[in-house]
Chain A
Amino acid sequence: MTELYTASGSKVHAHKADIFCRDETRVDWHSKALWALREKRDRAAGSLPEWEQLRLLGSQLKLHTLSHLAQYLEQFEQQCLSNGIKVHWASDAQQHNEIVHGILAKHKVKKLVKSKSMLTEECHMNPYLERHGIEVVDTDLGERIIQLANMPPSHIVVPAIHMKKEEVGELFHQQLGTKAGESDPLYLTRAARAHLREKFLTADAAMTGVNMAIADQGAIVVCTNEGNADMGANLPKLQLHSMGIDKVVPDMDSVGVLLRTLARNATGQPITTYSSFYRGPQEGGEMHVIIVDNGRTEMMKDKILAESLKCIRCGGCLNTCPVYRRSGGYSYNYTIPGPIGIAVGAKHDDTNSIPWACTLCGSCTYVCPTMVPLDKIIAHHRRLKAEAKRLPYGKGGYMPLVGRFMANETLMNTSMSAARLALRVLPGSLLKPFSGAWGKYRELPVAPESSFASWYNKNRSR
């Protein structure tokens, strides 16, 4: 394998996946845990006769919104303003972080409680605020676990899915003072509840992501199971919500459709425990919404990539992806892993390898609750990389040769008959070193004596 590392030190997906795969027991455990989510999803989705209709509606309403996005964003802003919500616009991650810091600094905020937001991960907001002296406390249990472990999320819905309960127990023992050797999930969850309860009660401000922003209401919807977003947003008097421009939907009817599929597709629940609609600040408080582009309008310029923005971040495509389940969330060179991570992150991957972390099996596309054509988008990224001459794994060198070889019947026939002969007469031990990754993991094929074309000439030619 060539080009393992880029100049910046990133490693190709295959390299990271290879390391992940060395602990096979762990791979099996990881794959099984995520497949269990896929099975729960199948049961929940299958219980609704109208499931496929809901997917189609979700796709259509998202396409409609995206194709009228400027209009809906402006309507959303106007409605927010009339509801007493302050609206900010950020073109990129840097602007987003500066805006957030500006608001917090103005209110002399020292402690911010935050609920899960992939956008703030995308913007690397936590380290930015920490550099400016603000304590950021992630309050979703999984997020808190990885924050204490100083790791990024490895999944967009279950961010600590890669950690075993014993590892969480040890981490909590070190950081929260739980009993040594204790790894019962109930015990650990209760310990985190007590630890974070104190953080909620002493926070100066709260921040959440946004699942949907309702244009004609000037309201945002936040979905959690733990209640952490709402514990935060309703205790301190300052609440902030960051959203990508793709989160806006026209109206309540749209929310009705997406709330039916979001949790069912994510975890198999009929709906998340809390689906909270915020239409203004609490009495005497302030509510800020930060609308972020950060590359989304650029994706809109490509008809195929634009469909990635239909995504509602349920994580269903990660759970079904046979490659993600066996390579882990840290192998993708982007904040968001799995199929949707490739779709929205390929342009940021300086190893250019993540579009190839996929067999194009198409399972993700069929799982997706808004019918994002993930396999087509991933194939399209490969083409964009090829056109930009940024191919991984030495493909830029060998693909032209393969193309010429395949197009040349004589050359192909001669060399393949030599290869068949070699496979038949030479011992496997002699051939394996020359067969690369194929022979490293698999037995070499049993070679036939002749090609079908030769057989046909002998047996059917008239």
Chain B
Amino acid sequence: MKIALFIPCLVNQMMPEVAIATLTLLEKLGHQVIFPKGQTCCGQPMTNSGCFDEAKNTTLKLLNAFKGVDCDAIVCPAASCLVAAKENFHEFDGSQEAQEVISKLYELTEFLHDIAPIKAFARPVAAKISMQMSCHGIRMLNLATPTEQMGKQRFNKVEAVLGNIAGLEIVYPARIDECCGFGGTFAVDEGAVSAKMGKDKAQAHAATGAKYVVGFDPSCLLHLDGMIRRQKLPIETRHIAQIINDAL
């Protein structure tokens, strides 16, 4: 397939290794990958604060970067940004062209589960990993059934994708999908509560004895990384793309 990468500003500037892993793994899977120029912020920091006017310019610039791009799918390694992009594109541009972009947007896990499943992994990854089930991926993108939801029909796309990697042991922290406390500007507006949530989450991950905290939302991972190093906990953060790339 022909894939356009949507690399959110935070990943582009602060976590390029996540974007590189995403690009590389998609290429290894035989896809043609392009990186359209002119990508800006999806507007989430502003719209999550209620400031829609302030978000409009950057959101539309990002949308324009994908309009008319010849591709089958637009893939993003950040669940929260993807959700915001979808909502904000819809909010600010009701055109058919915008709708075409929105309909091609996929979060990486979602893409690898729903659209182009991985047939086989080439290499084992001998590690115990503790999954960071970030909120927007779980509760807005349906990557897994949230723990609040009852009933027998449960799914977990993250585990379904990673489950076939030989040597990988997947575990979960206590209070599996309780928020890690990042929450965008919440991390600074509500510093004390955000930090306490992050500390609790980091300790829950470390208590599993896993080598890595693995997640699909880079912003949560960045926050957890800061908490883990502050607490000097024996665990490190990895993005799901890095684990998958290692296994291909």
B195: interface (CB < 8 Å): yes
Q: A403-B51, A406-B40, A441-B198 are in contact. Are A452 and B46 (CB under 8 A)?
A: no
B106: interface (CB < 8 Å): no
Q: Decide: B50 and A383 in contact? CB cutoff 8 A.
A: yes
A-B contact count (CB 8 A): 224
Chain A residues with CB under 8 Å of B190's CB are: 13-14, 17, 323, 327, 356-357
B245: interface (CB < 8 Å): no
Q: When chains A and B are docked, how far (Å) is the Cα of A416 from the Cα of B11?
A: 12
Q: Decide: B179 and A24 in contact? CB cutoff 8 A.
A: no
Chain B residues with CB under 8 Å of A441's CB are: 191-192, 194-195, 198, 226-227, 230
Q: When chains A and B are docked, how far (Å) is the Cα of A389 from the Cα of B190?
A: 20
Chain A residues with CB under 8 Å of B23's CB are: 456, 460
| A437-448 contact mask (Cβ, 8 Å, vs B): 1 or 0 | 110111111111
Q: A326-B193, A385-B50, A441-B194 are in contact. Are A402 and B45 (CB under 8 A)?
A: yes
Q: Which of A180-188, A231-239, A284-292, A362-370 contacts B (4 or more CB under 8 A)?
A: A362-370
Q: Mark out the residues of chain B between 23 and 82 whose CB falls within 8 Å of any chain A CB in the assembled complex.
A: 23, 35, 38-41, 43, 45-46, 48-58, 61
Q: Mark out the residues of chain B between 1 and 39 whose CB falls within 8 Å of any chain A CB in the assembled complex.
A: 7, 9, 11-17, 19-20, 23, 35, 38-39
- Would you give the shortest CB distance from A438 to chain B, in whole angstroms? 6
Q: Decide: B193 and A323 in contact? CB cutoff 8 A.
A: yes
Q: Decide: B225 and A445 in contact? CB cutoff 8 A.
A: yes
Q: Mark out the residues of chain A between 400 and 445 whose CB falls within 8 Å of any chain B CB in the assembled complex.
A: 400, 402-404, 406-409, 412, 416, 420, 436-438, 440-445
Q: Decide: B50 and A51 in contact? CB cutoff 8 A.
A: no
Chain B residues with CB under 8 Å of A194's CB are: none
- Would you give the shortest CB distance from A125 to chain B, in whole angstroms? 32
Chain A residues with CB under 8 Å of B39's CB are: 453
Q: Which of B117-125, B146-154, B163-171, B205-213 contacts A (4 or more CB under 8 A)?
A: B146-154
A257: interface (CB < 8 Å): no
A65: interface (CB < 8 Å): no
Q: Decide: A386 and B16 in contact? CB cutoff 8 A.
A: no
Chain B residues with CB under 8 Å of A13's CB are: 190
A71: interface (CB < 8 Å): no
* Interface size range of chain A in the complex: 35 or more
Q: Decide: A448 and B16 in contact? CB cutoff 8 A.
A: yes
Contact of A442 among B7, B178, B195 (CB under 8 A): B195
Contact of B50 among A20, A365, A386 (CB under 8 A): A386
Contact of B226 among A355, A402, A445 (CB under 8 A): A445
Q: Mark out the residues of chain B between 83 and 98 whose CB falls within 8 Å of any chain A CB in the assembled complex.
A: none
- Would you give the shortest CB distance from B147 to chain A, in whole angstroms? 7
Q: When chains A and B are docked, how far (Å) is the Cα of A25 from the Cα of B120?
A: 48
- Would you give the shortest CB distance from B69 to chain A, in whole angstroms? 15
Chain A residues with CB under 8 Å of B192's CB are: 14, 17-18, 20-21, 441
Q: Which of A146-154, A155-163, A336-344, A391-399 contacts B (4 or more CB under 8 A)?
A: A391-399
Chain A residues with CB under 8 Å of B48's CB are: 360, 379, 382
Q: When chains A and B are docked, how far (Å) is the Cα of A167 from the Cα of B195?
A: 28
Chain A residues with CB under 8 Å of B181's CB are: 322, 359
Q: Decide: B139 and A365 in contact? CB cutoff 8 A.
A: yes
Chain B residues with CB under 8 Å of A402's CB are: 45-46, 54
Q: Which 10 A-B pairs have the closest CB atoms?
A: A442-B226, A359-B183, A382-B50, A437-B191, A441-B195, A403-B54, A386-B50, A366-B148, A406-B41, A361-B179
Please give the residue numbers on chain A whose beta carbons come within 8 Å of chain B beta carbons, in ascending order. 1, 13-14, 17-18, 20-21, 24, 27, 31, 35, 42, 45-46, 48-49, 51-52, 320, 322-323, 326-327, 355-363, 365-367, 379, 381-387, 391-393, 395, 399-400, 402-404, 406-409, 412, 416, 420, 436-438, 440-448, 450-453, 455-456, 460
A17-B192, A49-B151, A420-B14 known; 20 new pairs, CB 8 Å cut-off, are: A14-B189, A21-B193, A42-B147, A42-B150, A46-B150, A322-B181, A327-B193, A356-B189, A358-B186, A362-B135, A362-B136, A366-B148, A367-B148, A383-B52, A384-B50, A406-B43, A409-B38, A437-B187, A441-B195, A442-B226
